[in-house]
Amino acid sequence: DTAVSQTPKYLVTQMGNDKSIKCEQNLGHDTMYWYKQDSKKFLKIMFSYNNKELIINETVPNRFSPKSPDKAHLNLHINSLELGDSAVYFCASRGDRASHEQYFGPGTRLTVT
Amino acid sequence: DQQVKQNSPSLSVQEGRISILNCDYTNSMFDYFLWYKKYPAEGPTFLISISSIKDKNEDGRFTVFLNKSAKHLSLHIVPSQPGDSAVYFCAASGTTSGTYKYIFGTGTRLKVLA
């Protein structure tokens, strides 16, 4: 039973399109994250939600919009895709405030052509 | 500005020997540190962590050492096994603000040779 799942696993699309990546966790965690791993292998935090409330919003183009319909889901919508958006996107969740351990999804490899 | 650095992109070690992976950080506000292991086509998985109030934490074959004055931490794997071959990321967080934001290094690819 997958703890943190992401769909799709691979996404190939053209510049200018709009796409969404979905993330679901069945761990009952309150906090979820989106990370981007670019070609240089940096794993950079993009957003974090705690109980559907946005708590971390890094310097990310406003073409990226996270949406948390409930605390088990954190989706990422990207408008007007650009070549530089090509990367692997990871969703993660974390339990209570005393726990630092994050559980990561398998990643979504986005390729913009 | 890269606040967490893993200066060795790769490391090869013979099976049974010790693997030492290093990580340096620049932000003195960081007070919690973690190591994650990542296999290809999978997400990172948590390995071991350490709070800044400690200088060592051990879990089985894995030990993390923290040197706050040098802003340096290391992960020791003893004995190394072929299944340990993966990319290892260190991560750091400053928790005083109440928001748990984690800064990751670029990873070190460990290859354990049978």
Question: For B38-78, what is each residue's pLDDT tens digit?
Answer: 999 999 999 999 999 999 999 999 999 999 999 999 999 99
Query: Which residues are within 8 A (CB) of B81 and not within 5 positions of it... i.e. 6 or more apart?
Result: B15, B61, B112
- Cα angle vertex B102, ends A21, B78, to 5°? 105
Query: Which residues are within 8 A (CB) of A60 and not within 5 positions of it... i.e. 6 or more apart?
Result: A46, A47
Nearest chain A CA: its distance from B78 CA (Å): 23
% chain A with pLDDT above 90: 74
**pLDDT for the residue B45:** 96
**pLDDT for the residue A96:** 73
Q: Which residue in A34, A62, A31 sits closest to A49, CA to CA?
A: A31
d(CA A23, CA A1): 15
**pLDDT for the residue A29:** 92
**pLDDT for the residue A1:** 64
| Cβ atoms within 10 Å, residue A99 | 13
Contacts of A100 in chain B (CB under 8 A): 32, 34, 49, 93, 95, 100, 102
Segment A28-56 shows an average pLDDT of 90
Pairing relation of β-strands A4-7 and A19-25? Answer: antiparallel
Q: Assign A41 a pLDDT band (cuts: 50, 70, 90).
A: confident
Q: What residues of chain B have any CB closer than 8 angstroms to a CB in chain A?
A: 32, 34, 36, 41-46, 49, 87, 89, 93, 95, 99-104, 106-107
Q: Assign A89 a pLDDT band (cuts: 50, 70, 90).
A: very high
Q: Assign A2 a pLDDT band (cuts: 50, 70, 90).
A: confident
- Cα angle vertex B5, ends B88, A86, to 5°? 70
Nearest chain B CA: its distance from A86 CA (Å): 16
**Between residues A2 and B58, which one has the greater pLDDT?**
B58
CA closest to B98 among chain A residues: A97
Nearest chain A CA: its distance from B37 CA (Å): 11
